[in-house]
Amino acid sequence: MKDYSDWTPFLDYENESPFLESYERPWLQFRPPYIPKSIKYDLIPLHEFIKTTATKIPNNVCVYHKPIDKKYTYREFMYISDKVANALSQIGIGKGHAVGILMPNCPEFLFCCMGILEAGAAVTPINPLLKEADVEHIIREAGIINTIFVHKSNYRTMKKVEKKVEIKNIILIGSDQGKDHAITFEEFIEDVSPSPPEIDIDPMEDLAALLFTGGTTGLPKGVMLTHNNIVADALLTLETNRDSEEPLEDNIGNTVNLSILPLCHTFGFEIMVTALFGGAMLVMFASFNPSEILEALEYYEVSIFVGVPVMYQMLIHSPDFTERNLSKIEQASSGSAALAPELARKWEKVVGTKVGQGFGLTESSPITHIPVPWMPEIKSESIGIPIIDTDAKIVKPETLEDLPQGEIGELLIKGPQVMKGYWKKPKLTEKTIVDGWLKTGDLARMDEQGYFYIEGRTKDIIKYKGYKVMPREVEEKLYEHPAILEAGVVSAPDPNIGETIKAYIVLKSEYRDGKIKERDIIEWCKERLAGYKYPRKVEFLNILPRTMVGKIFRRKLREMAFKKQ
């Protein structure tokens, strides 16, 4: 078995990345000398990549599970993970298999991930909020999952699923005793030596993760991510985000990561990998409580905060937001969905730092763009620039012809983090990856400095009387209204013109009970938006439907509008 103890990446400051189609990309003019042009390294399995750091700081705290005040060092993390790998191997799990993880954020998620990888299998995280029909679809669609780690809070769901698809092994997390044929996590690894099997991994071909997309436009699709996809994405993201000549290794073990993003989602999964490689202490919470998070940001003097828009919304509207000392936050980033400019302004006013938006998708492991400290400024409305060894361009969706700077078209991505393909869907893979370029389905533009801006999804465009309207632009304006807490804009059927613009609104509590009427919102928008952009219909809701990762569920809103009509 290959020894990776001396593994280290080579930072190339001389040669431009082979993934760049053009060396004249505008963002490259701002790249400082300490940011490498490309990164080269010996191919390495994902678990060995994480171990290169873990072995350097064995006594540092790896994860702190705050709800039960339990800490695990990096030594304990590796010890338990090794036992999981050996136990999986003993029941026949290896290359060619995938193992499910159905649980909320907890330390066992880390142990199971690492153990699965060491056993040679692929990790398939399953959102614990999913209903049995979705869980059944994922297991059936994968076809190679016969073992699942399940949190006790999700066991009832798993029992229903088990009646429809065969699951040989269910390992219970957080339970003192087994149920039916399911055994506890402790029983699974007891009397098992911490000796992971010797597996020959091909990082370019073998799957580290089989992730299923959120399914906002239909049933979830399986995305095949190799070991190298995930390793490259983590390494390139960390090196791109440097703000000085100080090497990454000089800061190993000195940071705290608030593990608040769902680890079952590709964004949270990759942040977990980067945190472990960076030697951070992961502080895990049972749920997202704004007061607890704000207290932790202050107590741990967190310097980098990463969240999704709904988290920023909850933090900003918390009464504790202005009471906590958040001055140690040097960088704040938002991902997964667009952050309303009004929220970004409120954050900056209180915290003093701008919120930069990043971008990625499951098919790109997921990170492709981030806001970086070395560009001229952090533009809160921008997703930043591509990370190292990653190229991006804007094209006409129909012809894939390059568009000039400033014009809106489809965003294409090229880089080592682009997926191997869709699981059991070769034709869809061919349509999605063209000549090495990943078609994202997102509409975007690039300015003269190389900043990218997401304008919406191609399928979300509203066509009103021949005009194309971007829902995001209308939503951003709506957020400026003092009474509006949340807004979602979609197309609605219209018997006369085909489709029109409808806004679903959640009002702040002090403006409810009839204080604001639908017509008030429409008239307010008419004064501030072009004549073809303001919403013609408004409906108030108590809460907007969201996907499992907090994005506005536009398909649900469109279905509601259709049924209403």
Residue 22: what pLDDT? 96
The string of pLDDT tens digits covering residues 400-409 is 999 999 999 9
Cβ–Cβ under 8 Å, residues 216 and 547:
yes
| CATH number of the domain encompassing residue 262 | 3.40.50.12780
Backbone angles phi, psi at 179, to 5 degrees: -135, 130
Q: Is residue 306 a part of any domain in this protein? A: no
Q: What is the rounded average pLDDT of the residues 277-300?
A: 95
Q: Is residue 109 a part of any domain in this protein? A: yes
- With a cut of 70, say whether residue 549 has pLDDT above it: no
For the chain, give the number of residues.
565
Q: Is residue 313 a part of any domain in this protein? A: no
- With a cut of 70, say whether residue 218 has pLDDT above it: no
277 shares its domain with 404: yes
407 shares its domain with 532: no
Closest to 454 (Cα-Cα) out of 464, 467, 463, 441: 441
170 shares its domain with 204: yes
Where residue 198 falls (left for φ over 0; alpha for ψ -120 to 50; beta otherwise) is beta
474 shares its domain with 420: no
Q: What is the pTM of this model?
A: 0.86
Which residue range forms the structural domain that includes residue 427?
Answer: 10-287+358-446
Of 411, 446, 481, which marks where a domain is finished? 446
Q: Is residue 539 a part of any domain in this protein? A: yes
Q: Is residue 123 a part of any domain in this protein? A: yes
371 shares its domain with 440: yes
499 shares its domain with 551: yes
- Report how far apart, in Å, the C-alpha atoms of 220 and of each of 151, 211, 423 are: 22, 9, 11
439 shares its domain with 481: no
Q: Look at 130-134, 185-189, 430-434 and tell me which has the smallest mean pLDDT.
A: 130-134
178 shares its domain with 278: yes
Q: Is residue 136 a part of any domain in this protein? A: yes
**Number of domain units in the chain:** 2
The string of pLDDT tens digits covering residues 445-454 is 999 999 999 8
Cβ–Cβ under 8 Å, residues 370 and 358:
yes
151 shares its domain with 211: yes
427 shares its domain with 510: no
Q: Is residue 167 a part of any domain in this protein? A: yes
| CATH number of the domain encompassing residue 502 | 3.30.300.30
Residue for token digits 């809460």? 543
- With a cut of 60, say whether residue 270 has pLDDT above it: yes
Q: How confident is the model at residue 217 (pLDDT cuts 50, 70, 90)?
A: very low
283 shares its domain with 374: yes
Cβ-based neighbours of 315, under 8 Å, separated by 6 or more? 290, 293, 294, 307, 321, 347
Of 416, 446, 476, which marks where a domain is finished? 446
196 shares its domain with 281: yes
Q: Look at 104-118, 232-246, 334-348 and tell me which has the smallest mean pLDDT.
A: 334-348
